Structure 1
Amino acid sequence: MDTANLAAFLAVAATGSFSRAAEQLHLTQPAISKRIATLEQQLGVRLFDRIGKHVGLTEAGRTLQPRAELIINTFNDTRRALGNLSASIQGRLSLATSHHIGLHRLPPVLRRFTKAYPGVVLDIDFLDSEVAYDKVLQGEIELAVITLAPQVEPPLIATRIWLDQLEFVVAPEHPLAGRQEVQLSQLAAYPAVFPGGNTFTHNVVAQLFERHGVSPQVSMSTNYMETIKMMVSIGLAWSVLPRTMIDSQVRVLPVPDARLVRDLGCIHHSGRTLSNAGRALIELLHTERESDTVT
């Protein structure tokens, strides 16, 4: 059984489309169809139902999917383990990062990495931290540099790299701008835009308000910090932003007893053999680690 055929099967199963699977694997659609047909012939079962434009797994396909994932992950892990014997740092490194970290934290690290290891091809996915977390857990991505969950449980291993101070912000013309002190209850009287409810950052902010018995007016949500900043800057709502994004477009509010910090860092799967390239990137990230003190 060819692992390339299994990879094609998993891509179609994940995307629900032969054409999208072809794009994902950088193949033609006929090539994907041929691989699926070969796999079905080898196994003697039909793996997909094709009804109009809809492609769905058959019962046999659903049975094969977790086993195919195990085979592919085991094969890739074995290939990395054997490749590591050479001690050379080269090959492909699958890396996921959030849009915010990818824009504001990672560029200097990746610049140093690519200069030091020109033989490594970086395969970078920009994903929500929560999505990247799950992809590392499922073995689809080797490393993720993301906003860390409050509790990272085995089999994942997390290393905090940056402490990210969050500030309450409003537009320069907002009624609360310029005040010497603003209470959470005063903020709650105005519309807010928060990160999506499924995000680690949303939970950090929501828990602060819960501890003080205050319910904010969350009228909008988005997972992109740049979009939140735009909404705040034009006066649509107040929000929280990382200190690294503060500039003249917004005003920071002095809110007493409201220290908000999130951990940014790197995660990988303890059951997956790290490539030499992955180890090298983690070591480089360690040099970026900041102290626990946030002013």
Structure 2
Amino acid sequence: MSLNLLKLQIVELIEKHRRITAVADQLGLKQPTVTYHMKTLEQEMGVRLFEPRMDKIILTEAGKALLHYAVKINSLSSEAQRIVGEFGRMSRGSLRIGASYVPATYLLPRVLREFAAQYPGVTVSLSVKPSPIITNMLLNHEVDLGIISTEVFRQPPIELRTICEDELVLVCAPGHHLASYSELSPALISTANLILHGKESSTRQMTDRWMELWGIRVQGFLELDSLEAIKQAVMQGGHASFVSRLAVQSEVERGLLVVKDIPDFEYVRNVCYAYNKDRHYSQLLEQFIGFLHADRSSTAPVSGVNKEMLGSI
């Protein structure tokens, strides 16, 4: 038995639309043709995969098990066609970049502008998500390259290389009571009204570990997913927050925010680019990484990642 790619596409689209008419429209087929492929797939697998429910079609438990692999196979098939199409035509193509909030906002705009100027025919799509989500997108081949703020981790087949340091600091407005102290202690920080990042953020995960280590229990706090919203709220004067030093350089230079070192903060975080070793290292990807290197000439390997691994990206 050999699985037909079209049938696997139908499985994925049935889960998405739950209507044969919508699946047929998206694939450019007639409804009876879609129905035929669904029936023959069930015959080939020897199990029921689709179940009519009112005016919809849903996947059975066996269908959902097949869906897990159909999504991966369809993604790899699409990627293979796209990568092969890049050869011999560097003036066209597409790149899917995933980035966490700090590099997406404070590092990538200049890189994207310079890359677009040299390769105007290349389409670059950017997904901005927390670092753990970008890592999962790399694992699932949903993006070609991840640019994330992260601690060093090992999660084969993901590989990392440092672009620059991304130190976490505590920020407050000049009139905030913490601003007058030359050095802070965990006890002092516990007296502040804090604004915390969303739970999926790597910044939140690191600060939660630090607060747990020092027994800091925050009774009331704001939780915001937007880094810009956090900065604006802190500048109002009533709150403090843990943020990337890169993210507040402009506000600090203009005297809008004050930066304080976090006491006994031993976690090291960098802005890195991340790559899935299981995908082909395309020419476009090589060129884009070159622009990252040009923008940050101090690029150095992440501790614990060997030169042989780095050579493959």
TM-score range, shorter chain: 0.7 to 0.9
The structural deviation recorded for 1:148 is 2.6
Contact 2:52–2:58, Cα closer than 8 Å, also in 1: yes
- Which among 250, 262, 281 is matched to residue 257 of structure 2? 250
Task: Say whether the 8 Å CA contact 2:102–2:149 is kept in structure 1.
Answer: no
Matches for 1:177-256 after TM superposition, within 5 Å: 177-211=179-213, 213-217=214-218, 219-246=221-248, 247=251, 248-256=255-263
| Alignment counterpart, residue 174 of structure 1, candidates 176, 180, 184 | 176
- Aligned match of 2:63: 61
Is the 2:185–2:263 Cα contact (8 Å) retained in structure 1?
yes
Out of 95, 104, 107, which is 2:106 matched to? 104
Unaligned runs of 5+ in 2: 43-47, 301-313
1:152-180 superposed Cα distances (whole Å, 9 cap, x missing partner) = 32111112212112221123332222222
Q: Is the 8 A contact 2:162 2:299 kept in 1?
A: no
For residues 80 and 129 of structure 2, what CA distance do their matches in structure 1 show? 27
Matched-pair contact (CA < 8 Å) for 1:188–1:216: yes
Distance 1:160 1:273 in 2: 21
Using the size of structure 2 for normalisation, the TM-score is 0.75
Residue type at the aligned position of 1:47: F
Q: Which runs of 5+ in 1 are unaligned?
A: none
TM-score normalised by length of structure 1 = 0.79
Q: Is the 8 A contact 1:185 1:214 kept in 2?
A: no
Residues 33-48 of structure 1: matches in 2 within 5 Å? 34=31, 37=35, 39-44=37-42, 45-47=48-50
In structure 1, distance between residues paired with 2:125 and 2:25: 20
In 2, Cα distance between equivalents of 1:17 and 1:128: 28
- Matched length: 283
Report the CA distance shift for 1:291/1:59 in structure 2 as closer, same or farther (over 3 A). closer
In structure 1, distance between residues paired with 2:36 and 2:122: 33
Q: Is the 8 A contact 2:96 2:143 kept in 1?
A: yes
Whether the aligned pair in 2 keeps the contact of 1:80 and 1:275 (CA below 8 Å) is no
* Counterpart for residue 272 of structure 1: 279
Worse-matched range after superposition: 144-153 or 182-191? 144-153
Superposition pairs for residues 76-95 of structure 1, below 5 Å?
A: 76-80=78-82, 82-83=84-85, 85-86=87-88, 88=90, 90-95=92-97
How far does the alpha carbon of each residue in 1:187-228 deviate from its partner, in whole angstroms, 9 at most, with x for none?
Answer: 1122212223333222322333444x2415162323321122
Aligned-pair identity in percent equals: 24
Moved more, 124-133 or 35-44: 35-44
Please, what is the CA RMSD of the aligned residues? 3.4
SS in 2 for 1:86: coil
Q: Distance in 2 between matches of 1:10 and 1:135?
A: 17
Q: Which residue of the partner structure matches residue 282 of structure 1? A: 289
Could you say what secondary structure the match of 1:287 adopts?
A: helix
Deviation at 1:239, TM superposition (A): 0.8
Larger radius of gyration: 2
